[in-house]
């Protein structure tokens, strides 16, 4: 009776999970289904798995296939056997796990790569023999599969066909519980990916506000400031960036108050399209500029993930939104803007607009929430991309503890970061204002971060530059093509590790 109840509960949870951003369905059971079209088994030389059982049923065909493919069982190696002898499945995918215990990031990546092996339309029902994995390991494999299976097909005639994955595990209820937390994180990642992938004319600052308001049903308090309110508060830098567009700028505040602790603040850059302004971008670069709001998307996705899991944290995300467009109303080179901080900024490049939006956003959250720590996240500079490429996010801070915490969190969730230096403040000196918005030389990622540093006051602060991380040109591990949602896992991991109330 107990086993039957476990199966039933797994079925109903699977139904609720299948309504996420993709059509994949996940079930957890005590037995391996023989009705699936595909079986996934694991193989290594150090720990028993379900391989031997199925190899015997196939009268050694699986072993012969491994030998023919010179399969050594190393981590992330695969062999597919079609029409296996005396097994009911159309195919068996044999997965190497290596001879060492797999870490959290390795399991997630392996799950993603399993999904990559099973993309065929003829595959619809997959059984995964995972009883040798513990509760957390099995849930991380499912997590990786789901992250890689995400597909933004809104504008495609041929829609993504979902698959059903059934994991055989020792303890269905415990595995379901572990996966439920990861599913909440996935919901935040999928939101960030959806926002980043969306066509820019369909995701203006006004549209972003609409998406943010949907989080109210999770208990998130949403506040929105329009151009007149932004201007009245003296946030002239944020107002100026959106001035050339039809709708102007917005400031969105999303506050999830799951504890009575002093709030953690996240400031996200939300340029829903960046033409470069009067100093317009080249054709090569402008085509990717719908993703210039990926920082705001990550901030909002993090709030959704934490609220969905009822985390005991107090987090406020503030997102400065604007379209940096060209019109007779656009701000122009030579303008001097007075920020809400009181510092004046000479505009030396209209394509260095993200730091202007963040400057006023960070002032607002400090002024109104007195956060214990402030983190900003932005697709900020080409300099960061040239320094670290697409595999590493850049972090900047004078707080050694924050740097350690984020470095560890990044490694844990496959969103690694690398510290870059602050400095070169003299490059930001202007003859007519307190600052200029670009450096007169020096490393551009550093001068941009140093510019932001002038707007954090005494609050502990860390800056994350995700230029190059927001869009993936090709899939890898658990990350599909397109919007990556980079930052949601990083921020969520850091917050839960260091700030969740006990």
The catalytically annotated residue of 27, 131, 269, 355 is 355
pLDDT band at 2 (very low <50, low <70, confident <90, very high): very low
My answer on whether 112 and 227 are in the same domain is no
- Could you report the per-residue pLDDT of 183-212, keeping only the tens digit for each? 999 999 999 999 999 999 999 999 999 999
Domain boundary among 136, 170, 204: 170
pLDDT single digits (tens) 460-477? 999 999 999 999 999 999
Q: State whether 266 and 400 are in the same domain.
A: yes
Residue 9 inside a domain? The answer is: yes
Per-residue pLDDT at 9 exceeds 70: no
Question: 253-293, pLDDT tens digit by residue?
Answer: 999 999 999 999 999 999 999 999 999 999 888 999 999 99
pLDDT the model gives residue 3: 40
Give whole-number Cα distances, 472 to 288, 410, 464, 483, in Å.
Answer: 11, 18, 18, 6
Residues 158 and 217 in one domain: no
Residue 344 lies in a domain: no
* Pair (143, 220) in one structural domain: no
End residue of a domain, out of 102, 137, 170: 170
Task: Let me know whether 102 and 242 are in one domain.
Answer: no
Grade residue 10 by pLDDT with cuts at 50, 70 and 90.
very low
* Number of neighbouring beta carbons within 10 Å of residue 232: 10
Average pLDDT over the chain, rounded to an integer: 94
Domain identity same for 16 and 95:
yes
pLDDT of 13 reads 40
The reply to whether 442 falls in a domain is no
Q: Are residues 203 and 137 in the same domain?
A: no
Is 217 found in the same domain as 157? no
Place of tokens 């379901």: 176
| pLDDT given for residue 500 in this prediction | 77
Judge if 38 and 128 occupy the same domain.
yes
Q: Give the max Cα distance, the chain.
A: 83
Q: Is-contact 77 61, C-beta < 8 A?
A: no
Same domain, yes or no: 10 and 100: yes
Q: Is 355 a catalytic residue?
A: yes
Same domain for 157 and 199: no
23 pLDDT tier (thresholds 50, 70, 90): low
Q: Six-digit token pair at 476?
A: 């890898």
For residue 253, the cross-strand partners are 223, 318
| DSSP per residue, 154-184 | TT-SSPPPP-EEEEE-S-HHHHHHHHHHHHH
Output the CA–CA distances (angstroms, integers) from residue 304 to 3, 219, 292, in the order listed: 33, 10, 20
The mean per-residue pLDDT over the stretch 76-105 comes to 96
CATH code for the domain in which residue 135 is found: 3.40.220.10
Proportion of the chain above pLDDT 90, given as a percent: 90
Q: State the pLDDT at residue 285.
A: 87
Torsion over CA: 423, 358, 467, 21 (sign): positive
Q: Kindly state whether residue 437 falls inside one of the protein's structural domains.
A: no
Q: How many whole angstroms separate alpha carbon 295 and alpha carbon 441?
A: 25
Q: Quick check: is 446 in a domain?
A: no
Candidate list 281, 288, 312, 425, residue with the active-site label: 281
Does residue 319 or residue 502 have the better pLDDT? 319
Residue 301 region, left (φ>0) first, then alpha (ψ -120 to 50), else beta?
A: alpha
Please answer whether residues 462 and 410 qualify as being in contact, where contact means their C-beta atoms are separated by less than 8 angstroms: no
Give me the domain span that covers residue 285: 190-272+281-324+352-417+460-498
Classify 165 as helix, strand or coil.
strand
* Extended beta strands in 258-363, E state: 264-274, 314-324, 336-338, 344-346
pLDDT given at position 501: 63
pLDDT band at 502 (very low <50, low <70, confident <90, very high): low
Kindly report, residue by residue over 359-402, the tens digit of the pLDDT: 999 999 999 999 999 999 999 999 999 999 999 999 999 999 99
* Cα first-last separation, the chain: 36
Domain boundary among 116, 142, 170: 170
- 151 in any annotated domain: yes
pLDDT at residue 20, as a whole number: 39
Please say if 502 is a catalytic residue: no
Separation CA 195–CA 483 (nearest Å)? 8
Is 175 contained in some domain? no
- Count: domains in the chain: 2
Q: Is residue 37 part of a domain?
A: yes
If pLDDT is split at 50, 70 and 90, which confidence band does 334 have?
very high
Return the CATH number at 227. Answer: 3.40.630.10
Which pLDDT tens digit goes with each residue over 30-88?
A: 999 899 999 999 998 777 788 999 999 999 999 999 999 999 999 999 999 999 999 99
Same domain? 226 vs 375: yes
């Amino acid at each position: 009776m107990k086993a039957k109840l476990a199966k039933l509960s797994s079925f109903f949870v699977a139904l609720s999970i299948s309504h996420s951003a993709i059509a994949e369905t996940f079930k957890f059971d005590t037995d391996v289904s023989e009705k699936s079209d595909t079986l996934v088994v694991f193989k290594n030389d150090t720990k028993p798995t379900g391989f031997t059982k199925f190899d015997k049923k196939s009268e050694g065909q699986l072993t012969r296939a491994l030998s023919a493919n010179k399969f050594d069982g190393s981590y992330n190696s695969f062999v597919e056997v079609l029409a296996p002898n005396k097994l009911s499945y159309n195919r068996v995918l044999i997965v190497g796990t290596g001879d060492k215990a797999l870490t959290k990031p390795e399991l997630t990546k392996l799950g993603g790569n399993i999904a990559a092996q099973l993309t065929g339309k003829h595959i619809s029902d997959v059984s995964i023999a995972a009883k040798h994995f513990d509760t957390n390991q099995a849930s991380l494999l499912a997590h990786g599969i789901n992250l890689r299976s995400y597909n933004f097909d809104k504008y495609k005639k041929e829609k993504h066909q979902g698959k059903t994955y059934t994991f055989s595990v020792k303890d269905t209820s415990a595995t379901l519980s572990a996966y439920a937390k990861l599913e909440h994180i996935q919901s935040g990642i999928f939101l960030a990916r959806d926002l980043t992938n969306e066509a820019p004319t369909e995701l203006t600052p006004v549209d972003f506000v609409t998406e943010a308001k949907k989080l109210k049903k999770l208990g998130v308090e949403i506040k929105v400031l329009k151009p007149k309110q932004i201007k009245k508060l003296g946030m002239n830098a944020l107002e100026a960036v959106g001035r050339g567009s039809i709708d102007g700028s917005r400031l969105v505040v999303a506050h999830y108050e799951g504890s009575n602790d002093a709030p953690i603040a996240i400031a996200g850059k939300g340029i829903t399209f960046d033409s470069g302004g009067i100093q317009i971008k080249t054709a090569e670069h402008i085509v990717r500029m719908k993703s210039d709001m990926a920082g705001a998307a990550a901030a909002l996705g993090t709030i959704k993930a934490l609220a969905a899991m009822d985390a005991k944290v107090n987090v406020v995300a503030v997102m400065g939104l604007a379209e940096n467009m060209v019109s007779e109303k656009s701000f122009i080179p030579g303008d001097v803007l007075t920020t809400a901080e009181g510092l004046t900024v000479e505009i030396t490049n209209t394509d260095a607009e993200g730091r202007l939006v963040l400057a006023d956003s960070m002032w607002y959250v400090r002024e109104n929430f007195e956060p214990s720590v402030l983190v900003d996240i932005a697709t900020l500079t080409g300099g960061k991309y040239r320094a670290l490429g697409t595999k590493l996010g850049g972090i900047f801070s004078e707080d050694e503890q924050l740097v350690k915490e984020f470095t560890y969190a990044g490694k844990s969730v496959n969103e690694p970061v690398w510290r870059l230096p602050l400095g070169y403040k003299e490059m930001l000196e202007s003859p007519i204002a307190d600052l200029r918005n670009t450096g007169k030389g020096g490393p551009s990622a550093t001068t941009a971060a140093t510019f932001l540093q002038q707007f954090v006051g005494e609050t502990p602060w860390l800056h994350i530059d995700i230029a190059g991380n927001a869009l993936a040109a090709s899939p890898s591990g658990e990350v599909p093509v397109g919007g990556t949602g980079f930052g949601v896992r990083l921020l969520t991991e850091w917050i839960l590790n260091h700030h969740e109330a006990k």
